[in-house]
Homo-oligomer: A and B are copies of this chain.
Amino acid sequence: MKIGELSRSTDTKVTTIRFYEEIGLLNRPARTASGRRTYTTGDVERLNFVRNGRRLGFSIEEIRSLIALASEPNRDCGEAMTIASCHLAAVEERLEQLTALRDELAVMSRDCDRQRIADCRVIHTIARPVGSPISIGLSPARAGRAMSCEGHATAREASSAASSRLRRSAFRSE
């Protein structure tokens, strides 16, 4: 099985597979005479394990530990349980934060009367002094495929946010 087929059968991009190999999450596969990677069904299982782990939100390092544990069938599974329940607790905390966030966003959207910026509830809510103690670790706007939110932020004149972040200092004062 070549990398393309592995990619298709695990719904993982080719570059991601190579990345997993580089960081040691996948074993280095055998190569053909011309240097192409060849995979076995064991590799498919392993990659599925990694992908499921990621889908469940485990970090690469957590998955690395879980793989190591999985390869010792006679060990006590306490450590795996610790990783899982710890992660569960983290997810529950983020759920709470995200719920609070959603409520705040919903209020500000609901209350805005859609008139002038000067009276805009959205702008005013964000502009208020550093208020409520909700401090969130949300990584925002990764959005991806599901949302059609593109183009609102970038469309104005930051369109040339081309390459280096150092070049982005086309900043505009108020």
Interface residues of chain A, those whose CB is within 8 Å of chain B, are 10-11, 22-25, 27-28, 45-46, 48-49, 51-59, 61-62, 64-95, 98-99, 101-102, 104-106, 108-109, 112, 114-120, 122-123, 125-131, 134-144, 146-149, 152-154, 156, 158, 161, 165-166, 168-174
Contacts and interface: CB of A to CB of B under 8 A. Distances in A.
A55 B138 CA distance: 8
Contact of A98 (B24, B98, B152, B174): B98
- Copies of this chain present in the complex amount to 2
B69 A172 contact: no
21 contacts: A22-B165, A24-B170, A27-B174, A52-B128, A57-B138, A58-B126, A61-B161, A62-B140, A64-B156, A69-B123, A70-B117, A73-B118, A74-B116, A76-B116, A77-B115, A81-B114, A82-B152, A86-B152, A89-B149, A90-B149, A137-B143
